[in-house]
Chains A and B, each alone.
Chain A
Amino acid sequence: MDIKRDILKRVYLMYGFFLLFGIAILVQVFRIQVVQGQYWIAMAESQTLAYKNIDALRGNIFADDGSLLATSLPTYEIRMDLKAEALTDDVFKKGIDSLAIELSNLFKDKSAREYKLELERARKAGERYHLIKRRVTYLELKKLREFPIFRKGRYKGGFLYVQKNERARPFKILAARTIGYDREGQKPVGLEGAYDKVLRGTSGKRLMQKIAGGVWMPVNDENEVEPEDGADLYTSIDINIQDVAEHALMKQLIKHNSDHGCVVLMEVETGLVKAIANLSRNPDGTYSENYNYAIGESTEPGSTFKLISLVAAMEDGYLDLDDSVDTQGGQVQFYDRVMKDSHEGGYGKISVQRVFEVSSNVGTSKLIQKFYGKNPQQFIDRIYKFNIHKPLDLEISGEAAPRIKKPKDKDWYGTTLPWMSIGYESRLTPLQILTFYNAIANNGKMIKPIFVKEIRKHGRLIKKMPVQVISESICSKETVKKAQKMLEGVVENGTASNLKNATYKIAGKTGTAQIANDKYGYKYESKVSYQASFCGYFPADNPKYSCIVVVNAPSNNVYYGNLVAGPIFKEIADKVYATNLKIHPPLSIEKNLAVTPISKNGSKEDLLVVLNKLNVKAHGRVNENWVKTNAKENEIEIQNLTITSGVIPNVIGMSLKDAVYILENKGLLVKVVGKGVIKNQSIPPGQSVQKGNIIILELA
């Protein structure tokens, strides 16, 4: 069979060709592995890959009203891989002009030409991680993704971005230390630290390649594992009160050239901290939030402790408000030490209530020494029942533990009990004292201060923080009533009478302590160092908020609690009271309380809403949106106020809000002088409008 033999011959020839082909392939494999091996292996090492963590978007910290206290702003670093595998010359040349124009239009930092030249140079240099722009916002990123070339993505367009999260506190200093921070390599502080796990979320993963210069470049378009956002913290901080607290404290600290101070305002029933400010003086004389004194600094509290002493004695049944004590000549000796009242000459024989109101050291210490001198342990036991010897165990770390001495302790002397009774020889933080005062305001129920109300994620509730009760009742209701009466007395006719006001009642206690400095004892910078404080609550009849103010080392010779700390308390309390309609007692409505009010000209709708609410009759037939008013005896007469287009209207007698609206809508620029009702306008009514002209309104 010739044909078959011929065919087979050709087939074997062909097979020989395939054998050679196969050998060539194996030889090439061998060449790559052995001959060029070093080269390729070195190249492999240079392109190390690793999955890098991509930080999740950290949760926000919100104030009570939803204002942002701390937030993470994602910013993006835009890079371009100019040697992207599928970024051909064709694609590059076709898109580069429009890309350069778009980039220039978006960032406005370089001209389109500069961008073009830069990218062309980078492409020539073969840059695989060329920086286009740092700190680009998400909105900008979205636009960038639509740009020519870039819209082709990572492989075809060389478009790369790396997300970086930046933490920002929109309210800057406000509650800064309590919000805190969580930075790498530093001890976490405040709520950021306490709730780090909640806020942090789960990090994602992204495959990155190490390229020349030790930079890591993402390999793919997207993250391999998307990070999961952290949850949000809804704190109890009321940003308005916080603002007042911070500024009131700052003002007083500057005025008295104090070293540092703190303020805490707490909701009586829930323990929610509405404001917490901590300020200390920097070497350059400015003040800022550097340390959380309210939580971390325990000092001898001074006279605010007298409440604890007297409540203990009353709870043990030794004492009533009407009992009297002889304050002698303002001086009493215990062993080798003399106890003095700040008021020279003493107060003579006065009631317990009065002892507290004038903050008599002699009276208080004599009483406590009398009842507990033989058995100081009983006093300590009673105080322990108030739970003030234990730390509050706050969410935020760094709480200083309280120190209440026991008779067994080595440093318990014969003089310890009397001095302890007036607030020395013990150590408490401002927040621990406040917690006790709050319990008195809350009829004996002791509540733990908390800063966070809820944890939410994307608005969905994850956890609601419960009210945490330390003790249902630290003392009997009768004792609470007595304590409240004493505290009210301090403001009514005692050391804090400067806080008294007609609108609402404040209850509280001043404190002025000489403070011991760790190094210098009771003298600091060769002077006696003081701590002025005021702790109390309001409105006294129906306590809603408790507050403590502590100012440390006021150095301008004024160091009394009522004068240094009191005004801060008052300012905050005023603000809280003024903005919180719920705690206002209802007014008794009297007939004909006021005559018909005078109202400004302006928007008809606005006016009618207000008048309606106030039950004031309005009369007049109007069909325009703008009206003039005229107060009559029993009603307000309203008339049309015609606004003709192109003509300057008469805005005299109008409210500024409406006048600006009308005038600026006509294209005029409004400048304002003074306040009140508009009395004069610089361009008289009836003139034709020249757009862009300035019209000056005088208010009085």
Chain B
Amino acid sequence: MNWFANIKGDRVIWVIVILLSVVSMLAVYSSISTLAYKSGTGNQMSILIKHGITVFLGLVIMYYVHKLKFTYYSRIAQIAFWLSIPLLVLTLIIGTNLNDASRWLVVPGLGISFQTSDLAKVALIMYVARMLSKKQNQIKDFKSAFLPIILPIIIICTLILPANFSTAALLFAVCFILMYVGRVNLKYLGAMIGIGIIGILLIILVGKYAPDLVPRFGTWVSRIENFSSGNSEGNYQANQAKIAIATGGITGKGPGNSTQRNFLPHPYSDFVYAFIIEEYGIFGAFGILSLYMLLLFRTIKIVTKSENTFGGLLALGCGLLLVLQAFINMAVSVGLFPVTGQPLPLVSKGGTSILFTGIAIGIILSVSRSIEEDKKGGKFETA
């Protein structure tokens, strides 16, 4: 019970996390029943238990992360940032080839594989928040403010890009919003968008003429081509997701009654939102969406309360990372975006994703906790 007493920070966020974890357990339980049918020997249980342990570990990590005063993360940000660069390079070179994308690195000795981009994401957000807060006084300047901020972003995103286009794009988008919120000169931000478009065109060119350099290029092109052409035969996954949504109706088919799970290749990860709508209907769709909106809202609440720019930007960055990813996942599920393979944070099955999500939320809570304690301590006056 020591634990409950020690739970600090925004209680609403805690509740959101618990609720999403419950949804995650339900969704995974129901979506893996096909696998269980296959073996008929309690495999389902072992998958579920494994998932439950991961979710619980995520919560534990979250707890310890939130216990640490957020100012330490300024220092940790530097270490994590410089650590993630060689790790990403290593992953690109020797990473386990899953779906043709080298995203995974196996920890020697432990045999645990993890997605280095997950670490890099959090590290970069922390680092950008740190830089933004440090440079606030000369923030509109190019050389002393913009460059030191944008260069790390470009380095990390470029390293993630070859293996995982969507994560790189997502991370870049979060950093971009963070820079905008952090008052970086709009001129530069506008110019960056222009350069970004040129960069993407460059990648496409390289992919066309030297496909070996960018092995995932074919997948991207076909996904985007399928998406934009609306080819109903070719876009199998997206169509199956739409069928799931359409047949879900207002109240859904009920827990465990999905039929589309047999057609959706990853009902417990990429298309979990469509799967939730199929089983829980519009209510489910609205509920999940609201939870993420609420998470973002509570994060903003922290920003408004925060007297510390680093704390505010750090919390916002972490919140944005999760919520934008969630929105992209949902947008893919409902067919607004091309298929990307971004998991739904806290809900989708997948080890590293859940663990780093725990870290991100832990950081938000850490900031929130400091605010609470500062209030009590009366160290600072409220704005």
Of the candidates B182, B285, B296, which one forms a contact with A29 in the assembled complex, judged by CB atoms under 8 Å apart?
Answer: B285
User: What residue of chain A has the Cβ atom nearest to residue B219's Cβ?
Assistant: A88
User: What residue of chain A has the Cβ atom nearest to residue B259's Cβ?
Assistant: A49
One digit per residue, 1 when the CB lies within 8 angstroms of any chain B CB and 0 when it does not, for chain A 80-107 equals 0001010010100000000000000000
B334 touching A18, Cβ below 8 Å: no
User: What residue of chain A has the Cβ atom nearest to residue B37's Cβ?
Assistant: A224
Which residues from chain A contact B286 at a C-beta distance below 8 Å? 26
B58 at the interface (CB under 8 A from A): no
What 7 pairs between A and B have smallest CB-CB spacing? A40-B246, A28-B334, A10-B181, A85-B236, A44-B243, A32-B245, A224-B38
Question: Least Cβ distance of B329 to chain A in Å?
Answer: 10
B242 at the interface (CB under 8 A from A): yes
Which residues from chain A contact B38 at a C-beta distance below 8 Å? 224-225
One digit per residue, 1 when the CB lies within 8 angstroms of any chain A CB and 0 when it does not, for chain B 77-89 equals 0000000000000
A36-B242 contact in complex given A25-B289, A25-B336, C-beta closer than 8 Å:
yes
A428 to B250, CA, bound (A): 74
B68 at the interface (CB under 8 A from A): no
B245 touching A29, Cβ below 8 Å: yes
Which residues from chain B contact A581 at a C-beta distance below 8 Å? none
A646 at the interface (CB under 8 A from B): no
Of the candidates B237, B323, B327, B331, which one forms a contact with A85 in the assembled complex, judged by CB atoms under 8 Å apart?
Answer: B237
Of the candidates B37, B177, B289, which one forms a contact with A225 in the assembled complex, judged by CB atoms under 8 Å apart?
Answer: B37
A8 at the interface (CB under 8 A from B): yes
A205 to B312, CA, bound (A): 56
B158 at the interface (CB under 8 A from A): no
A337 at the interface (CB under 8 A from B): no
Which residues from chain A contact B316 at a C-beta distance below 8 Å? 11
Which residues from chain B contact A83 at a C-beta distance below 8 Å? 233, 236
B142 at the interface (CB under 8 A from A): no
B181 touching A88, Cβ below 8 Å: no
Question: Least Cβ distance of B383 to chain A in Å?
Answer: 6
B40 at the interface (CB under 8 A from A): yes
Which residues from chain A contact B383 at a C-beta distance below 8 Å? 1, 4
A41 touching B236, Cβ below 8 Å: no
- On A, residues with C-beta under 8 Å from B are 1, 3-4, 6-8, 10-12, 14-15, 18-19, 21-22, 24-26, 28-30, 32-33, 36-37, 39-41, 43-44, 47, 49, 51, 83, 85, 88, 90, 126, 155, 205, 207, 219, 224-225
A14-B242 contact in complex given A25-B327, A25-B336, C-beta closer than 8 Å:
no
Residues of A contacting B: mostly: helix
Which residues from chain A contact B181 at a C-beta distance below 8 Å? 7, 10-11, 14
Which residues from chain A contact B334 at a C-beta distance below 8 Å? 25, 28-29, 32
B248 at the interface (CB under 8 A from A): yes
B289 touching A26, Cβ below 8 Å: yes
A15-B335 contact in complex given A8-B304, A10-B181, C-beta closer than 8 Å:
no
Q: List 16 A-B contacts (CB under 8 A).
A: A7-B309, A12-B300, A14-B180, A15-B297, A18-B323, A18-B327, A26-B286, A29-B334, A32-B245, A33-B282, A40-B239, A41-B243, A44-B246, A83-B236, A88-B218, A225-B40
A47-B263 contact in complex given A7-B303, A18-B296, A19-B293, C-beta closer than 8 Å:
yes
User: What residue of chain B has the Cβ atom nearest to residue A225's Cβ?
Assistant: B40
A88-B222 contact in complex given A15-B297, A25-B327, C-beta closer than 8 Å:
yes
B360 at the interface (CB under 8 A from A): no
A22 to B327, CA, bound (A): 7
A18 touching B136, Cβ below 8 Å: no
User: What residue of chain B has the Cβ atom nearest to residue A34's Cβ?
Assistant: B246
A49 touching B303, Cβ below 8 Å: no
One digit per residue, 1 when the CB lies within 8 angstroms of any chain A CB and 0 when it does not, for chain B 242-285 equals 11011111100000000110110100000000000100001001
Of the candidates A25, A37, A126, A207, which one forms a contact with B262 in the assembled complex, judged by CB atoms under 8 Å apart?
Answer: A207
| 11 additional contacts (CB under 8 A) given A21-B327, A33-B282, A41-B247 | A10-B181, A11-B316, A14-B177, A14-B180, A25-B334, A25-B336, A28-B331, A29-B334, A32-B335, A49-B263, A207-B34
A24 to B248, CA, bound (A): 19
Which residues from chain A contact B183 at a C-beta distance below 8 Å? 3, 6-7, 10
User: What residue of chain B has the Cβ atom nearest to residue A91's Cβ?
Assistant: B218
A41 to B239, CA, bound (A): 11
A15-B300 contact in complex given A26-B289, A44-B247, C-beta closer than 8 Å:
yes
B330 at the interface (CB under 8 A from A): yes
User: What residue of chain A has the Cβ atom nearest to residue B331's Cβ?
Assistant: A25
A292 to B61, CA, bound (A): 77
A7 to B233, CA, bound (A): 47
Of the candidates A7, A32, A90, which one forms a contact with B312 in the assembled complex, judged by CB atoms under 8 Å apart?
Answer: A7
B335 touching A28, Cβ below 8 Å: yes
Of the candidates A15, A28, A51, which one forms a contact with B296 in the assembled complex, judged by CB atoms under 8 Å apart?
Answer: A15
User: What residue of chain B has the Cβ atom nearest to residue A222's Cβ?
Assistant: B38
Question: Least Cβ distance of A506 to chain B in Å?
Answer: 60
A41-B246 contact in complex given A29-B334, A207-B262, C-beta closer than 8 Å:
yes
One digit per residue, 1 when the CB lies within 8 angstroms of any chain A CB and 0 when it does not, for chain B 43-87 equals 000000000000000000000000000000000000000000000
Question: Least Cβ distance of B188 to chain A in Å?
Answer: 15
Which residues from chain B contact A14 at a C-beta distance below 8 Å? 177, 180-181, 320
Which residues from chain B contact A7 at a C-beta distance below 8 Å? 181-183, 303, 309, 312
User: What residue of chain B has the Cβ atom nearest to residue A19's Cβ?
Assistant: B293
| Beta-carbon contacts under 8 Å, B224-249 to A | 233, 236-237, 239, 242-243, 245-249
| Beta-carbon contacts under 8 Å, B274-330 to A | 277, 282, 285-286, 289, 292-293, 296-297, 300, 303-304, 309, 312, 316, 320, 323, 327, 330
B246 touching A32, Cβ below 8 Å: yes
A32 touching B303, Cβ below 8 Å: no
A283 to B237, CA, bound (A): 62
A11 to B247, CA, bound (A): 37
Question: Least Cβ distance of B103 to chain A in Å?
Answer: 18
A26-B285 contact in complex given A6-B183, A83-B233, C-beta closer than 8 Å:
yes
Question: Least Cβ distance of A33 to chain B in Å?
Answer: 6
| Beta-carbon contacts under 8 Å, B2-20 to A | none
Which residues from chain B contact A32 at a C-beta distance below 8 Å? 242, 245-246, 334-335
Question: Least Cβ distance of A47 to chain B in Å?
Answer: 7
User: What residue of chain A has the Cβ atom nearest to residue B249's Cβ?
Assistant: A33
Which residues from chain B contact A51 at a C-beta distance below 8 Å? 37
Question: Least Cβ distance of A21 to chain B in Å?
Answer: 5
A14 to B259, CA, bound (A): 38
Question: Least Cβ distance of B303 to chain A in Å?
Answer: 6
A24 to B242, CA, bound (A): 15
User: What residue of chain B has the Cβ atom nearest to residue A88's Cβ?
Assistant: B222
A85 to B359, CA, bound (A): 36
Which residues from chain A contact B245 at a C-beta distance below 8 Å? 29, 32-33, 40
Question: Least Cβ distance of A362 to chain B in Å?
Answer: 74
A49 to B265, CA, bound (A): 15
Which residues from chain B contact A8 at a C-beta distance below 8 Å? 303-304
A558 to B330, CA, bound (A): 92
Question: Least Cβ distance of B98 to chain A in Å?
Answer: 14
A631 to B183, CA, bound (A): 119
A32 to B296, CA, bound (A): 26
User: What residue of chain A has the Cβ atom nearest to residue B237's Cβ?
Assistant: A85
A22-B289 contact in complex given A15-B300, A83-B233, A225-B37, C-beta closer than 8 Å:
yes
Question: Least Cβ distance of B281 to chain A in Å?
Answer: 9
Of the candidates B136, B182, B246, B327, which one forms a contact with A33 in the assembled complex, judged by CB atoms under 8 Å apart?
Answer: B246
A37 touching B177, Cβ below 8 Å: no
A25 to B250, CA, bound (A): 15
One digit per residue, 1 when the CB lies within 8 angstroms of any chain A CB and 0 when it does not, for chain B 320-352 equals 100100010011001110000000000000000
Question: Least Cβ distance of A218 to chain B in Å?
Answer: 12
Which residues from chain B contact A10 at a C-beta distance below 8 Å? 180-181, 183
User: What residue of chain A has the Cβ atom nearest to residue B313's Cβ?
Assistant: A7
| Beta-carbon contacts under 8 Å, B177-217 to A | 177, 180-183
Which residues from chain B contact A6 at a C-beta distance below 8 Å? 183
A145 to B338, CA, bound (A): 33
A10 to B289, CA, bound (A): 22
A30 to B180, CA, bound (A): 32
A18 to B293, CA, bound (A): 8
